């Protein structure tokens, strides 16, 4: 055995050691799941969802129960999105085209978090996406359009990036700011107060348009690291008119295959009811995009609603609505992914402005559920993630 082979084995063992507990939980979870989830199916609301396709002929409750039970026995997990995928329709039986959530998510994480060439580079690159301060700094350096960070809050100090200078956090009320406050490492937009509007004017602080004193603001910030990021105020009207109160972004997942980058799927996310966030986790709607045009149906998260063919507030119909600058969007995300060369797949949040394309953020932990909402993702899973 030569030294390079030995180094490669040691490096792999190091990484598999790091993820060993995760794999035990993953595979052990399947065994435990086969015991626990039948009870969840019987006694919880998870197995008794509301149909997204009430206009169709639906399966009986008994058939739905046994299909879910068989899914648990086969995969070790409950199909939380049984109704969103439309399996309660009598005409929908293509289970084989859908990949279980645990399997898909685990494959996504493995490809992003384990290096493809551990001897050459024994690190992963997910921090470049998850750390909003690092992401913005890198993008600006290599010429990727992204909203600018005004400053960073860390250890009770506000670092003003645009100057540059620093000041104690309690002095931030001296500034005039109209921006977004974002937890530096987080996901889910409006979930758990990770992203919210921040306004400071006349020595008054407003979060989510609610007045908050400086002491409460410092307490809210706590020991976490936050970035203050400029607002996008010039959203392209073609997307802004769906819901003017939110920046309605496009989620595109790209996959790096050798030296090329390909698009896995794309969707438009739209806010509702005057909320600033477009995320479905905050009650928004997602609409699949095919060849630069919207599909017929927009979907809510389970528990929030089902589906709709138009925006509930502006009543703009989704089907065949053309996304502006589509070719330019695709070109931008592909070029950006080629610069984030250490990552296998990235979920981009893209905003179309009157000045062009801005990439708000990239996500290594993009949602595998929406990747296969309408047609399943088995073919793509085998092509991009299986090996």
From 230, 253, 268, the end of a domain falls on 230
Burial of 314-341, coded b for 16+ CB within 10 Å and e otherwise, reads eeeebeebebebbeebbebbbebbeebe
Structural domain ending residue among the three candidates 57, 78, 93: 93
Domain identity same for 164 and 86 = no
Helices (H) and strands (E) counted in the chain, each on its own, are 10, 15
Q: Which CATH number does the domain housing residue 296 bear?
A: 3.30.470.20
> pLDDT value at position 332?
97
Does 105 reside within a domain?
Answer: no
C-alpha to C-alpha distance for 261 and 337, rounded to whole angstroms: 7
Mean pLDDT (the chain) is 89
**pLDDT number for residue 336:** 98
Segment 45-104, tens digit of pLDDT: 766 789 999 999 999 999 999 999 999 999 888 898 999 999 999 998 888 999 998 889
- For the entire predicted model, the pTM comes to 0.89
pLDDT of residue 21: 47
Let me know whether 330 and 241 are in one domain.
yes
Helices (H), the chain: 3-18, 20-43, 61-75, 101-113, 127-130, 132-142, 214-221, 237-240, 326-339, 378-384
Tokens encoding 198: 């921040």
Q: What angle do CA 26, 32, 33 make, to 5 degrees?
A: 80
pLDDT of residue 309: 96
Are residues 228 and 188 in contact, defined by beta-carbon separation less than 8 angstroms? no
- Identify whether residues 330 and 303 lie together within a single domain: yes
Domain carrying residue 357? 235-384
Question: Which parts of the chain have pLDDT scores under 50?
Answer: 18-19, 21-22, 25
Number of independent structural domains in the chain? 3
* pLDDT given at position 118: 66
Residues 222 and 244 grouped into a single domain: no
- 182 and 248 housed in the same domain: no
| Domain match, 225 and 267 both | no
Predicted confidence at residue 18, as pLDDT, reads 46
The verdict on 253 and 357 lying in the same domain is yes
CB-based burial of residue 249 (10 Å sphere; 0-12 exposed, 13-18 middle, 19+ buried)? Answer: buried
């Amino acid at each position: 055995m030569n030294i390079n082979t030995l180094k490669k084995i040691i490096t792999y063992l190091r990484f598999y050691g790091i993820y060993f507990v995760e794999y035990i939980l993953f595979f052990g979870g399947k065994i435990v799941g086969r015991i626990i989830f039948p009870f969840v199916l019987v006694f919880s609301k998870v197995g008794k969802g509301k149909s997204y396709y009430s206009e169709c002929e639906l399966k009986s409750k008994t058939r739905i129960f046994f299909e879910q039970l068989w899914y648990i026995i086969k995969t070790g997990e409950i199909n939380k999105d049984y109704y969103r995928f439309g399996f309660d329709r009598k005409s929908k039986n293509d289970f084989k085209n859908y990949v279980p959530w645990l399997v898909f998510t685990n494959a996504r994480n493995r490809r992003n978090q384990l290096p493809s060439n551990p001897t050459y580079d024994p690190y992963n690159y997910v921090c470049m996406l998850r750390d909003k301060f690092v992401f913005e700094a890198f993008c600006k350096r290599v010429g990727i359009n992204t909203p600018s960070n005004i400053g960073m809050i860390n250890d009770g100090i506000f670092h003003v990036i645009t100057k540059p200078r620093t000041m104690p956090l309690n002095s931030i009320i001296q500034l005039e700011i109209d921006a977004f406050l974002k937890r530096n490492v987080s996901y889910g937009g409006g979930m758990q107060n990770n992203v919210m509007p921040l306004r400071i004017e006349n020595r008054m602080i407003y979060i989510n348009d609610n007045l908050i004193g400086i002491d409460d603001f410092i307490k809210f910030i706590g020991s976490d690291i936050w970035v203050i990021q400029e607002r996008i105020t010039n959203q392209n009207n073609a997307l802004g008119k769906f819901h003017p109160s939110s920046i309605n972004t496009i989620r595109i997942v790209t996959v790096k295959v050798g030296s090329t980058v390909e698009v896995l799927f794309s969707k438009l996310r739209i806010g509702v009811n005057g909320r600033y966030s477009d995320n479905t986790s905050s009650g928004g709607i997602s609409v699949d995009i095919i060849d630069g045009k919207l599909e017929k149906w927009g979907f809510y998260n389970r528990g929030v609603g089902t589906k709709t063919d138009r925006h509930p507030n502006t009543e703009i119909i989704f089907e065949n609505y053309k996304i502006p600058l589509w070719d330019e969007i695709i070109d931008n995300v592909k070029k950006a992914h080629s610069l984030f060369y250490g990552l296998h797949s990235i979920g981009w949040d893209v905003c179309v402005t009157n000045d062009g394309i801005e990439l708000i953020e990239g996500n290594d932990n993009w949602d595998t559920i929406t990747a296969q909402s309408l047609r399943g993702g088995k073919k793509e899973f085998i092509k991009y993630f299986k090996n």
